C-alpha cells in the first residue's frame, strides 16, 4: 500500500460515519469500525464474505428490490432512510448512501438516525403538549416578531382577538385591530423593546357592543444569543372582574348612604325625644311633689318606676347623641387644659357617695399623682371615665375591689380601671366596642350597650388608645393612654 | 312680704314652655312667657320687669342670641340675669351665648330639681348684686 492509500484508509477507519464495500456479488469485502459499531459487530471477520442482506429486515429487502436498486442502477447512486437490523435484532433507522463501484461492487455510507428520529419524535410530543396546554389555557397568548408580525396565537387568543388562528399569523396589529387599539399595542411593543422587560397594560376592545377589558403582560422573548427575537403577550379577560368591582363599589356607596341616613335618623329621633323627656321629667316631678308625699308604698313604688324609666330613657338618648357626635364629627370637641387629678377625684368621690350606698361592701380605691394635667375635652374624658367606672361597679360582686390607677409613662398619661367582676367572655371580646353590644353574661344588669363605644371614640378623639384584658369570672382591666404632648384633636376623617 | 319674683320664659316649643311654666308656678314664681325673641322684647319694652329671663336659643323671628344682644343695649335690663335653655349637643351655641354676656345656661332635657336650684341660686346672686350696688361704698 502506498502512502496515499494508507492515509485514505486511516481516514476511513477513523470516520464517524459507517463505510463498507461489497463485491459484485453483494458480499462484504470491507467494513470500517463505525459501521461495525452501528450494527453491533465487534470485528470485520464476522461480516466479511457475508451478503449485505444480513443487515436488513424483510420489508427493507423488499423495498431495496423494488425501489432502491432500480434507482441505484439508473443513477449510479442512492440516498435515503431505511429500517436496518442490528446484530441483537433491534431495528433502527439507517441513513444510507449507496454508490456503484467500477467492477460492480457497491460502496455504502451509513449513519444511525435513530437518535435523531427519537429527538424529532420527542419534539413532536412536546409540541403537541405545548399546544394542548396553551390552547386550553383561559388566557390569550400571542407571539409576534420584533417587527410586529404575529407568528403564534393560541385558541383563546383567537377568540378574544376575533381572529381565526391562521388569519392572524403573518399580520401586524394595524391590520387586525382598529387604529387606536393597534397604536396602543405597538406603543407597548416599543416600550418592551426599549426597556427589555415586561410591560403591563390594559386593552379595551369592543365586542358585541360591550367593552371587553383585557389585562396584558407583554414581554421580550430572547434567543440563545441573548438577542430579543420575538415579543410575547399574555392577555387576561378581566371584564367580569371589572364589572364585579364596579358593582361592589356601587353597593358600598349605597351602604354609605344608608349609614348616613341611619345616622341622621338616629340623631333626629334622639333629638326629638328631648322635648317629651323634659315634659315627662317636669310632670313627674310636680306629680310626685303633689301626690307622692304621704301616699302609700305602692304609689311610691310607681313613682320610683316612672323615674327610673325616665332616667334610663334620658341616658340612652344622651349616649346615642354623644356617640353620634363623636363618630361623625369632632367639630364640637374643645380642648382645654384640665386637671386630671381634680377630675378623677371628683368622679370617684361622687361614685363613692352614690353607689357605695347601693353596694356597701364594694371598695373603690383611687391612686392619682397630684397636679396632673392634660389638654383635653373635659366632657368627653368625664364621659369615658364615668362609663368605665360605672361598668366596673355594675358588674362587680360585693366584697370585691374597683381600683383606679393613674400614672405617666414616657409621653403618655395612663389611666387604669380594674375590677374583680364577672369579666367579658373571650369569644365576645372582639366586638365589645361595637355600639349596642352587650356581653352574654350581663344577666339582668341594665345598660344600653353604648358605653364602651363612647369610651373608645372619646379616647380616639384625643389621639389616645384603649387597651384591656379580661378573664371571665376574674375581672377586667381597662387602660386609657393619652399623649401628653399632642394637643391636636383628631379630625373626623382621620377617625375612620 | 316680698312680692313673688317674675320670670320671663322665651321658648318656641309649647310643651317645654308649658312644663317650665308649671314648674316655676309650682315653685311660687310669677311667670310670663313668650314664643319667640320678638314677642319677649315687645313684652319687655311694654313695661314687663322680670327678675330673670330664661330663653331658648334657636327660635323663629328673633332668636335667643339676638334677644340678648338687643337687651344688652337697654340699660333698664342690664342687671337682669339672662339664662339660656339649650339642647346639650349645641355646645357652640352655648359658648356664643356666654361670650355675648349670658349669665348661665340650662341644658335640655333638664332635671327639674337641678334646674330649679340653679334658678334659685342665680336669683339670689342677682339680688345680692343689686343690693350691693344700692349701698353706698
Q: Which of A263, A269, A283, A285 to mutate to test the interface with B (most CBs of B within 10 A)?
A: A285
Cα B17 to Cα B55: distance, rounded to the nearest angstrom: 10
Tell me: the pLDDT tens digits for A214-236? 999 999 999 888 889 999 999 99
For the cut 50, the answer to whether the pLDDT of residue A494 exceeds it is no
- What pLDDT does residue A356 have? 64
Chain A residues within an 8 Å CB radius of B20 = 282
A272 versus A50: which is more confidently predicted? A50
- What pLDDT does residue A495 have? 42
- What pLDDT does residue A7 have? 92
Looking at CA atoms only, how far is residue A323 from chain B in angstroms?
11
Report the percent of chain A where pLDDT is more than 70. 94
Helix A378-394 vs helix A451-460: crossing angle, to nearest 10? 140
Banded pLDDT at A488 (limits 50, 70, 90): low
Positions of chain B with pLDDT lower than 70, given as ranges: 1-2, 88-95, 97, 135-137
Task: Report DSSP state, residue A334.
Answer: -
Put simply, the answer to whether A271 touches B87 (Cβ < 8 Å) is yes
- What pLDDT does residue B88 have? 53
Helix A451-460 vs helix A297-328: crossing angle, to nearest 10? 30
Tell me: the pLDDT tens digits for A429-451? 888 887 767 777 777 676 767 78
Q: φ and ψ at A42, to 5 degrees?
A: -105, -30
Any idea what the Cα angle at residue A409 is, between residues A404 and A413, rounded to 5°?
A: 55
- What pLDDT does residue B74 have? 87
- Catalogue the E-assigned strands of A273-354: 336-339
For the cut 50, the answer to whether the pLDDT of residue A493 exceeds it is no
Put simply, the answer to whether B18 touches A279 (Cβ < 8 Å) is yes
Tell me: the pLDDT tens digits for A60-75? 999 999 999 999 999 9
Chain B residues within an 8 Å CB radius of A334 = 91, 95
B131 versus A145: which is more confidently predicted? A145
- What pLDDT does residue A492 have? 45
A112: cell is 444511525
Contact of B109 with chain A, judged by CB distance below 8 Å, is answered with yes
Put simply, the answer to whether B87 touches A282 (Cβ < 8 Å) is no
Mean pLDDT of A339-343: 90
**Three-class secondary structure of residue A369 per DSSP:** coil
Put simply, the answer to whether B89 touches A275 (Cβ < 8 Å) is no
Cα A372 to Cα A341: distance, rounded to the nearest angstrom: 5
Put simply, the answer to whether A285 touches B23 (Cβ < 8 Å) is yes
For the cut 60, the answer to whether the pLDDT of residue A134 exceeds it is yes
- What pLDDT does residue A70 have? 93
Q: Which sign does the torsion angle of CA A358, A362, A368, A372 carry?
A: negative
Any idea what the Cα angle at residue A59 is, between residues A57 and A60, rounded to 5°?
A: 65
- What pLDDT does residue A375 have? 87
Mean pLDDT of A257-269: 79
Looking at CA atoms only, how far is residue A272 from chain B in angstroms?
11
Q: What is the mean pLDDT of chain A?
A: 86
Q: From the list B92, B108, B112, which residue is nearest A285 (CB)?
A: B112
- What pLDDT does residue A313 have? 84
What is the interface pTM, i.e. ipTM, of the complex? Answer: 0.80
- What pLDDT does residue A347 have? 87
For the cut 50, the answer to whether the pLDDT of residue A42 exceeds it is yes
Looking at CA atoms only, how far is residue A417 from chain B in angstroms?
28
Q: From the list B22, B87, B88, which residue is nearest A282 (CB)?
A: B22
**Three-class secondary structure of residue A56 per DSSP:** coil
Q: φ and ψ at B83, to 5 degrees?
A: -120, 130
Taking any CB pair shorter than 8 Å as contact, residues of chain A touching chain B are 271, 274-279, 281-283, 285-286, 289, 314, 317-318, 321, 325, 331-332, 334, 379
- What pLDDT does residue A490 have? 53
Amino acid at each position: 500500500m502506498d502512502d496515499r492509500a494508507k492515509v485514505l484508509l486511516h481516514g476511513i477507519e477513523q470516520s464517524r460515519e459507517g463505510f463498507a464495500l461489497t463485491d459484485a456479488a453483494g458480499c462484504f469485502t470491507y467494513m470500517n469500525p463505525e459501521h461495525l459499531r452501528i450494527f453491533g459487530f465487534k470485528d470485520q471477520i464476522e461480516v466479511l464474505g457475508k451478503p449485505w442482506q444480513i443487515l436488513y429486515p424483510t420489508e427493507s429487502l423488499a423495498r431495496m428490490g423494488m425501489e432502491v436498486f432500480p434507482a441505484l442502477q439508473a443513477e449510479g447512486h442512492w440516498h435515503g432512510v431505511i429500517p436496518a437490523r442490528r446484530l441483537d435484532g433491534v431495528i433502527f433507522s439507517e441513513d444510507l448512501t449507496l454508490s456503484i463501484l467500477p467492477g460492480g461492487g457497491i460502496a455504502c455510507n451509513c449513519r444511525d438516525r435513530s437518535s435523531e428520529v427519537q429527538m424529532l419524535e420527542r419534539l413532536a410530543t412536546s409540541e403537541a403538549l405545548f399546544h394542548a396546554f396553551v390552547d386550553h389555557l383561559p388566557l390569550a397568548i400571542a407571539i409576534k416578531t420584533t417587527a410586529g408580525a404575529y407568528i403564534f396565537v393560541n385558541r383563546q387568543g383567537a377568540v378574544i382577538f376575533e381572529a381565526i388562528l391562521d388569519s392572524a399569523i403573518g399580520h401586524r396589529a394595524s391590520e387586525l385591530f382598529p387604529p387606536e387599539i393597534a397604536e396602543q399595542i405597538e406603543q407597548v411593543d416599543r416600550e418592551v423593546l426599549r426597556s427589555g422587560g415586561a410591560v403591563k397594560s390594559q386593552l379595551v376592545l369592543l365586542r358585541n357592543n360591550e367593552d371587553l377589558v383585557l389585562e396584558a403582560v407583554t414581554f421580550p422573548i430572547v434567543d440563545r444569543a441573548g438577542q430579543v427575537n420575538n415579543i410575547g403577550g399574555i392577555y387576561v379577560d378581566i371584564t367580569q372582574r371589572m364589572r364585579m368591582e364596579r358593582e361592589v363599589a356601587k353597593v358600598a356607596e349605597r351602604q354609605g348612604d344608608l349609614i348616613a341616613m341611619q345616622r341622621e335618623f338616629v340623631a333626629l329621633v334622639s333629638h326629638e325625644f328631648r322635648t317629651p323627656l323634659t315634659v315627662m321629667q317636669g310632670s313627674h316631678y310636680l306629680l310626685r311633689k303633689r301626690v307622692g308625699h304621704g301616699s302609700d308604698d305602692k304609689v311610691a313604688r310607681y313613682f320610683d318606676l316612672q323615674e327610673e324609666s325616665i332616667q334610663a330613657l334620658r341616658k340612652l338618648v344622651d349616649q346615642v347623641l354623644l356617640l353620634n357626635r363623636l363618630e361623625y364629627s369632632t367639630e364640637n370637641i374643645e380642648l382645654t387644659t384640665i386637671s386630671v387629678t381634680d377630675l378623677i377625684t371628683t368622679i370617684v368621690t361622687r361614685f363613692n357617695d352614690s353607689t357605695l350606698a347601693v353596694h356597701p361592701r364594694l371598695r373603690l380605691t383611687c391612686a392619682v399623682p397630684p397636679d396632673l394635667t392634660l389638654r383635653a375635652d373635659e366632657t368627653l374624658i368625664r364621659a369615658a371615665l364615668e362609663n368605665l367606672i360605672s361598668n366596673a361597679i355594675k358588674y362587680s360582686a360585693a366584697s370585691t375591689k374597683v381600683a383606679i390607677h393613674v400614672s405617666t409613662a414616657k409621653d403618655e398619661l395612663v389611666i387604669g380601671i380594674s375590677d374583680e367582676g364577672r369579666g367579658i367572655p373571650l369569644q365576645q371580646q372582639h366586638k365589645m366596642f361595637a355600639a349596642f353590644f352587650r356581653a352574654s353574661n350581663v344577666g339582668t344588669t341594665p345598660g344600653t350597650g353604648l358605653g364602651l363605644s363612647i369610651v373608645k371614640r372619646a379616647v380616639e378623639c384625643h389621639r389616645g388608645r384603649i387597651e384591656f384584658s379580661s378573664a371571665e369570672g376574674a375581672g377586667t382591666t381597662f387602660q386609657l393612654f393619652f399623649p401628653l404632648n399632642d394637643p391636636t384633636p383628631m379630625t373626623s376623617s382621620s377617625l375612620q | 312680704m316680698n312680692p313673688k319674683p317674675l320670670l320671663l320664659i322665651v321658648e318656641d316649643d309649647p310643651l317645654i314652655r308649658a312644663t317650665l311654666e308649671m314648674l316655676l308656678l309650682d315653685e311660687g314664681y310669677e311667670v310670663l312667657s313668650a314664643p319667640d325673641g320678638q314677642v319677649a322684647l315687645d313684652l319687655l319694652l311694654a313695661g314687663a320687669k322680670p327678675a330673670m329671663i330664661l330663653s331658648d336659643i334657636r327660635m323663629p323671628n328673633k332668636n335667643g342670641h339676638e334677644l340678648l344682644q338687643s337687651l344688652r343695649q337697654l340699660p333698664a335690663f342690664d342687671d337682669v340675669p339672662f339664662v339660656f335653655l339649650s339642647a346639650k349637643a349645641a355646645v357652640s351655641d352655648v359658648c356664643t351665648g356666654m361670650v355675648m354676656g349670658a349669665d348661665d345656661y340650662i341644658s335640655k332635657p333638664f332635671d327639674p330639681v337641678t334646674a330649679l336650684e340653679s334658678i334659685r341660686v342665680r336669683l339670689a346672686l342677682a339680688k345680692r348684686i343689686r343690693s350691693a350696688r344700692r349701698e353706698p361704698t
